[in-house]
Amino acid sequence: MTKTLLVTGASRGIGLETVRRFLQETSPDKGTVSRIVLVARDSQDYSDALAELEANNPREIELFTYRADVGDRDGLLELIDCIVEEVGNVDFLVNNAGYTNPVALQQVDFADFERTMSVNLYAPFTLVQELLRRGNHFDLIVNIASTAGITGRSGWLTYSASKAALINMSEVMREELAIYGTRVVCISPGRTATALRRVLAPTEDPTTIMQPGDVAAVIEMLASPVGKFVDSANLVVRR
Ligand SMILES: NC(=O)c1ccc[n+]([C@@H]2O[C@H](COP(=O)([O-])OP(=O)(O)OC[C@H]3O[C@@H](n4cnc5c(N)ncnc54)[C@H](OP(=O)(O)O)[C@@H]3O)[C@@H](O)[C@H]2O)c1
């Protein structure tokens, strides 16, 4: 049976690389995924990415593209309604969209802390809860946390806290959804060369750290037949 994959934060970085990998002939999912739903905010990056994906789609996978801010709860609820109506069941969900604004504790603006929690924690929760409430059956949910959620980092209070909560929430989801045959895996990548990483470490040489394709390969493996043998609530992926 063909499956549908939904990736949030699909306009660049790990999310875009994940979509690219599923489109390729060599993908180990052996053609299981025939529909991919992409979500990001409207941007030139996103438009450029979509044009590139359309032009490099040898398996003719059906692409559904949505422009939405997953940190805006009302907008996210509308988006979920649209996806249910226009796409139907989501089999593989990759909660990848992420936000960070690293500042010292004294400089944390509470509204920005709420925004961080909305994008990094409440959006994954809402996507899972609201799709379940609409009768969705998930085969696999992959939540992208961070090693910063395992060990808190100085200057990254809001980001670290949101990712720690995501790791814990994933464990609860894993326990609660196992009876439905749903696998929930949390991935905690280490340093990966993306725009988000440049915000966290502006002076770092991106060629010395993990590339987004490395993390995408792990996500792809989880959705492939061998992925069901990976029993982990929090999979650390780092170089
Ligand atoms: N890079 C690292 O070192 C690293 C390490 C550990 C974990 N991670 C996690 O990996 C995930 C992917 O990040 P990345 O490193 O690939 O960063 P990235 O290249 O900056 O990509 C982030 C993606 O999320 C989207 N996004 C951000 N805010 C959004 C919102 N409110 N609504 C919808 N989409 C939104 C972005 O698109 P728009 O902003 O254009 O909407 C973009 O597509 C994040 O959860 C991040 O925390 C990254």
Kindly give the confidence (pLDDT) of every residue in the chain, 239 residues in length, as a single tens digit, with 9 standing for 90 and above: 789 999 999 999 999 999 999 999 777 766 789 999 999 999 999 999 999 999 999 999 999 999 999 999 999 999 999 999 999 999 999 999 999 999 999 999 999 999 999 999 999 999 999 999 999 999 999 999 999 999 998 999 999 999 999 999 999 999 999 999 999 999 999 999 999 999 999 999 999 999 999 999 999 999 999 999 998 879 999 98
Tell the residue nearest (CA) to atom 17 of ligand 1: 196
What topology does CATH give the domain 3-237? Rossmann fold (3.40.50)
Residue 196 beta carbon below 6 angstroms from any ligand 1 atom: yes
Residue 161 CA to residue 45 CA, distance in Å, equals: 28
Atom of ligand 1 nearest to the CA of 163: 47
Q: Kindly list the distances between the CA atom of residue 111 and the CA atoms of 31, 117, 126, in Å, as whole numbers in the listed order.
A: 43, 10, 19
69: region left, alpha or beta (phi > 0 left; psi from -120 to 50 alpha): beta
For residue 49 and ligand 1, the question of a CB distance below 6 A is answered with no
Nearest CA to 83 out of 7, 172, 146, 188 is that of 7
Q: Which atom of ligand 1 is nearest to the CA of 41?
A: 41
Using a 6 Å cutoff on CB, does residue 96 contact ligand 1? yes
Q: What is the pLDDT of residue 172?
A: 97
C-alpha dihedral (194, 197, 203, 205), degrees to nearest 10: -40
Whether 14 lines ligand 1, by a CB cut-off of 6 Å, is: yes
Q: Running DSSP on this structure, what letter comes out for residue 149?
A: G
Phi, psi of 3 (to 5 degrees): -120, 160
- For residue 144 and ligand 1, the question of a CB distance below 6 A is answered with yes
40 lines ligand 1 (CB under 6 A): yes
Residue 148: C-alpha distances to residues 85, 110, 183 (Å): 36, 20, 23
Cα–Cα distance between 231 and 229 in angstroms, integer?
A: 6
Q: Atom 2 (ligand 1): residue with closest C-alpha?
A: 192
Long-range contacts of 210-214 (CB under 8 A, 24+ apart): 210/237, 210/238, 210/239, 212/13, 212/14, 212/16, 212/17, 213/17, 213/20, 213/21, 214/239
The pLDDT value recorded for residue 29 is 67
The SS3 call for residue 106 is: helix
